[in-house]
A and B are shown apart, each in its own frame.
Chain A
Amino acid sequence: MSTQVLEKQFHVEILSPRQKAENLEADLERFATRYTQAIAGGDVVCIPDNPLGKLAFQGTELIRELGLPAAPGQVSVHINTFHTKQNLDEVLGEAVDLGIDNVLVISGDGSERLPKLRAQDLGMDAAGVTSVELVQYVHREYAGAFSVGVAFNPYEPQEHEWEKLQRKVDAGADFITTQPIIGRHECIGRLQALGLPVVVEAWMSKKLHLLSDCVGYKISEDTPYDPWENLIALRNAYPECSVYLALLGFKTQLPQLAQLKEDMG
């Protein structure tokens, strides 16, 4: 299992173009530019899997078709439980072929066009497929190919969330990525105590309604929030953790990030 990805300090989220994109060529160009910038900056590119259940192109096919570099330790693709078995294996198989060695497994969001994996599809005797079963499947079918991350949401009812996390860890999780953390959160210490690397998510957008959707509770739009200050606070609070940068602004924040890395030495 490779841990190169986890040795990098910043994991940069890049959303892939939607299937319904009005101007696909422009979106592909933007994706390629951002991807290249993140790789050149020495960061890890993280590509979500159909976020909010909206059909988007898979990270693996974008990397292949756009001819983007994907050496081990440079890329993390997300996979969720809303796929056909065939499609899931295509994504994972292509990731192996491309040299991608890191996946983040989440339950994800479904839609009419995104079928939920069934336990029998994965050859499992379970009531349904959650991220727990998906972690088991990846380790079983792609043994040694991936470092497998799982998500932790500190905003869900905690008893259930910790129990679920333990099941994910028992299934073979190699690292844990949190939902967005504002400043500090008591869960981080407890997560670190599990002995797995922790990636802390920083919300880099000022669009708080999207953050509300992400964390599952209402955050008023007029709440004072400075994404950059929050990133600095997280770096100071958890210097041993990598930081996942959600919705990073590439025009303004990426140069700031380069400066921050330089300052950090």
Chain B
Amino acid sequence: MRIVVCVKQVPAINEVSIDPETKRLKREGVESVMNPFDLYALEVALRMREQVGGSVIALSMGPKQAMRTVREAIAVGADSGVLLSDRAVAGSDTWATSYAIASTVRHLGNVDLVICGKQAVDGDTAQVGPGIAAHLRWPQVTYVSHVSAVSNTALTLARMHEEGSTVLEVTLPAVLTVVKGINQPRVPTLVSVLASRGADVPVLSAADIGADPERLGLNGSPTRVVKTGPPPPRAADTVILDGPARDAARRIVHELRMQSLV
């Protein structure tokens, strides 16, 4: 099975804040990491490869610095990587981004499966995975929480939703987005990290993947981020339950039940 895993370089979420003036994420001086959800997607792909054979390709779109994330994916276990980096894709919204990634998947050829994290932690849209499926005209399964059967032609998966989960089968080729907790991502070793540094990772341009320039970047983006802002501060309310511990425990359980929290 030939699997593409989409990996995105994002700011470390514990270091991110929003500029009060511009209302944009302050990225300067913030450590860049692989989108945490993508680690789960990568682990799903690696386990599938271990089951049925094949190869895993890590694909990222972004500036040259995103090469670090591609190499990290190779260190974790991907067989190869590719970076789509071109000024033409700068400013792409989720639709243009998914078009660019879908075009890269077509360019790579013979891909059976694309796996993404359920969303990126910097945009939180959860739209790129489904967008890739739409552009490729492939079936998609989002919020995958369990993989129960893998073959070279179909997968049996559980899909998480508000009421629980649904088990379904999807034929390949297909696109998946996976949730946190579907597995425990493996940790790279020193050997694999050192090997990943010497891996030959092609950097592709929009022309290389045969993408229509009008469908990339701002030109190809039907949406614009007009404004972002921090969430309203949570109201802090401290209640001190004094008295014997047993009574205090009983009262806190009562309070939580009254608020339907337990």
Please give the residue numbers on chain A whose beta carbons come within 8 Å of chain B beta carbons, in ascending order.
19-20, 24, 55, 57-58, 61-62, 65, 84, 87, 112-115
Contacts and interface: CB of A to CB of B under 8 A. Distances in A.
Given A24-B193, A55-B187, A113-B185, 15 more contacts: A19-B187, A20-B33, A24-B197, A57-B189, A57-B190, A57-B193, A58-B190, A61-B190, A61-B191, A62-B190, A65-B190, A84-B184, A113-B39, A114-B187, A115-B184
Contact of B36 (A55, A112, A114, A115): A112
Given A20-B31, A112-B36, A115-B184, A61 B193 contact: no
B187 A65 contact: no
B189 A61 contact: yes
B229 interface: no
A113 B187 contact: yes
Interface residues of B, number: 15
A93 to B, nearest CB: 14
A244 B156 CA distance: 53
25 contacts: A19-B187, A19-B188, A19-B193, A20-B33, A24-B193, A24-B194, A24-B197, A55-B187, A57-B189, A57-B190, A57-B193, A58-B190, A61-B190, A61-B191, A62-B190, A65-B190, A65-B191, A65-B194, A84-B186, A87-B187, A112-B36, A113-B39, A113-B185, A113-B187, A114-B187
A113 B193 CA distance: 16
A34 B31 CA distance: 28
A112 B193 CA distance: 20
A12 B118 CA distance: 44
Nearest to B31: A20
Interface string B28-57: 000101001001000000000000000000
A113 B39 CA distance: 9
Interface in B162-211: 184-191, 193-194, 197
A65 to B, nearest CB: 5
A62 to B, nearest CB: 6
Task: Give 6 closest A-B pairs by Cβ, nearest first.
Answer: A61-B190, A57-B190, A115-B184, A65-B190, A61-B189, A65-B191
A56 to B, nearest CB: 10
Listed residue (B39, B185, B187, B194) with the most chain A CB atoms within 10 angstroms of its CB: B187
Contacts of A113: 39, 185, 187
Contacts of B184: 84, 115
A86 B236 CA distance: 42
Contacts of B185: 113
Nearest to B33: A20
Nearest to A16: B190
Contacts of A112: 36
A61 B194 CA distance: 12
A112 B35 CA distance: 12
A87 B189 CA distance: 10
A115 B43 CA distance: 14
Contacts of A58: 190
Nearest to A84: B184
A61 B193 CA distance: 12
A44 B197 CA distance: 32
Nearest to B189: A61
Contacts of B186: 84
Nearest to B180: A112
A58 B186 CA distance: 14
Contacts of A84: 184, 186
A51 to B, nearest CB: 15
Contacts of A62: 190
B14 to A, nearest CB: 10
Nearest to A62: B190
Contacts of B191: 61, 65
A65 B191 CA distance: 7
Nearest to A24: B193
Contacts of B188: 19
A84 B184 CA distance: 9
A114 B188 CA distance: 12
B195 to A, nearest CB: 11
Nearest to A28: B190
Nearest to B197: A24
A62 B191 CA distance: 9
Contacts of A115: 184
A114 B197 CA distance: 23
Contacts of A19: 187-188, 193
A61 B186 CA distance: 16
